Amino acid sequence: MPRMNEEILIATKNEGKLKEFKNIFEKKGIKAKSLKDISSAINVVENGLTFEENARLKAEGYARNVGIPVLADDSGLQIDALNGRPGIFSARYAGDHNDAANNAKVLSELGGIPNEKRTANFHTTIVVRKPDGAELIANGDLKGRILSVPRGENGFGYDPLFFIDGRNKTLAEMTTDEKNEISHRALAIQDLLNQFDAFWK
């Protein structure tokens, strides 16, 4: 039997995120399992009011079921001129999980708003939860501006609209490696790593 603290479940359906997290934990000698490795299929309703509440709902729901520590995260785009929307509703802002429709809705809501007022922020919160309820919480943010016309083919979600002044590019015009140097998720993972060893022992 492995000791409890040698395994972690990564509670995401997103393959890209899973790969990133697996890589990190394998370097620490911790086996990262995915939702495909567990038999107990549970349906967590993400009805929290914040990114942290949603990440916790996922982590808590699975931790209770599988008996090993669980990592869950929640991310989204917060646009200042839209009072922080789409925020926790980023994945399904236009109804379904459809990136093109979500981007079109954001552009239409921002119609007529000038460049300097189109500031925005990508946010990630990660919650790692042990079966005894102990929690690690990590956060990351990336500031940018929402363009009026999408640019670039890489990435996913709102990347073609999210312009980084310091790089003179949208996230969709960056390579995966370049995005992973600066992204909200990368910064949240860094914050997680800074706290991890003390939490895990």
Ligand X SMILES: O=P(O)(O)OP(=O)(O)OP(=O)(O)OC[C@H]1O[C@@H](n2cnc3c(O)ncnc32)[C@H](O)[C@@H]1O
Residue ranges for the binding site for substrate?
12-17, 75, 156-159, 179, 184-185
Partnered with residue 139 across adjacent β-strands are: 125
Out of ligand X, Mg ion, none, which partner does residue 12 contact, by CB within 5 to 8 A per kind?
Answer: ligand X
Residue 56 token pair: 């916790």
Cα-based distances in Å from 40 to 43, 45, 73:
10, 16, 20
CB of 167 to Mg ion, least distance (A): 26
Distance CA 70, CA 126 (A): 10
> Binding residues for ligand X, how many (CB under 6 A)?
19
Residue number, 20 or 74, with CB nearest to Mg ion: 74
Pattern of binders to ligand X over 62-101, x per CB under 6 A? Answer: ------------xxxx------------xx----------
Site residues for ligand X, window 135-174 (CB under 6 A)?
Answer: 155-159, 171
Distance CA 147, CA 45 (A): 33
Q: Are 66 and 7 in contact (CB under 8 A)?
A: no
- The residue at minimum Cβ distance from ligand X is 157
Binding site per annotation, positions = 12-17, 74-75, 156-159, 179, 184-185
Catalytic positions, written as ranges: 74
Q: Are 167 and 174 in contact (CB under 8 A)?
A: yes
Out of ligand X, Mg ion, none, which partner does residue 32 contact, by CB within 5 to 8 A per kind?
Answer: none
Q: Which strands make up the sheet holding 119-129, listed edge to edge?
A: 31-34, 7-10, 70-79, 119-129, 135-146, 162-164, 169-170
The residues of the shown chain that bind Mg ion, judged by CB under 5 A, are 74
Residue 16 token pair: 């890209």
Distance CA 83, CA 91 (A): 17
CB of 117 to ligand X, least distance (A): 21
Residues binding ligand X (CB under 6 A): 12-14, 17, 74-77, 90-91, 102, 122, 155-159, 171, 183
